[in-house]
Structure 1
Amino acid sequence: MSFRAAQLLLGFSVAAQLSVQLPTTDRVATYDFFTAYPFAVLSGDNVGDQRDALRLELVGYSRGQLSYASLGHRFVSRRERIRADLAFLVARGLIAIGEEAFVITDAGEGVADQLQTAYADAYRLAAEIVLVRLSRLSDRALREASARWAGTHWLMLDLFDDVVRPEIGD
């Protein structure tokens, strides 16, 4: 199993424990991304943010980002790969497409339970923090918050969505 697929499976497991619905690939991608970068959703302005930041630091997450790409670029890249990761998990019977949402299967729960490392435990904590915070948001509010946190408002545009009558070969 790929590292990203394992992360996604852990997120699905936490979502099931919290009874959080995962109805669209966009929601799955957004939850998955911010679980990997949980400090982006913490403003630090209130006691809850400070408590969650401390909990994340205690399990090994760092506020600093050492990377060649900005958070926005990483958001778009990870969002683009989500379909392949979901297909991988569905094809192996670890995730199923339910009537209203993606759901983890019993086999998926079994695999997620076997992921017993310090990293997996830290990722579960980050997923819990992110899912509790973001699952309350409407789709629109989630898009707006994601753009604010990741700075991706212009990167998230579907360039072909606004094309009404493309002129080709004039």
Structure 2
Amino acid sequence: MERAELSPTQTFEPDSQVFFRAAQLLLAFSVASELSIRLPTTERLAAYDFFTANPFAVLSKNDDADSRDSLRLELVGYARGQLSYASLGHRFVSRRERIRADLAVLVARGLVEIGEEAFMITDAGRNIADQLRSAYADAYRLAAEIVLVRLNRLSDRQLRESSAAWAGTHWLLLDLFDDVVHPEVGAQ
């Protein structure tokens, strides 16, 4: 088998890989299940998912709990102010738009199911999530725990407002793709 090589100008971006994003989601579902946190909507799931990947966005440096959680994240390898190809707000919009497709991958493979009131990890999904063992997976679990506990306390409205504030974007930017992807039929 021929080995693929990256040229000096090519980079590998895990976030562009659907199975990488699906594995992250599966880890988040596993943590949510352990914490008895419900995942009732794709909107809430998208916020949980995005801020788990960017946990410092939800932490201030103003209280002891934030300082403690920041230190815990730094100890497992997260770093504040990592360089990125786009602003936090633009990444939030992009990731939120991909959440439905990533969730569909998990549902189609029987790893997540759609319950009456929330999405839930299945036994098969939990089994696979438990097998994901690496420094990255363990760090992601910690970030998910910190983020899910904090964001679960917020109402849907508070979560939308906080997400806009943390991502540093105006709410119109956050809703821009909803208007393009889901235009109202017959609207004039």
Normalization by structure 2: what TM-score?
A: 0.85
Alignment of structure 1 residues 7-156 onto 2, 5 Å = 7-152=24-169, 153-156=171-174
Gaps of 5+ in 2: 1-17
**Displacement of 1:162:** 9.4
| 1:45–1:87 Cα change, 3 Å | same
| 1:82–1:165 Cα change, 3 Å | closer
Structure 2 CA distance for aligned equivalents of residues 12 and 112 of structure 1: 9
Moved over 6 A (4+): 160-164
**In the alignment, is residue 6 of structure 1 matched against residue 20 of structure 2?**
no
| 1:24–1:62 Cα change, 3 Å | same
**Displacement of 1:54:** 0.1
Structure 1 window deviating more from structure 2 (62-71 vs 154-163): it is: 154-163
Question: Which residue of the other structure, out of 159, 162, 168, is the alignment partner of 2:179?
Answer: 159
Secondary structure of the 1:2 match is: helix
Structure 2 CA distance for aligned equivalents of residues 31 and 55 of structure 1: 18
Structure 1 CA distance for aligned equivalents of residues 85 and 152 of structure 2: 30
Normalization by structure 1: what TM-score?
A: 0.93
Say what the alpha-carbon RMSD is for the aligned residues: 1.6
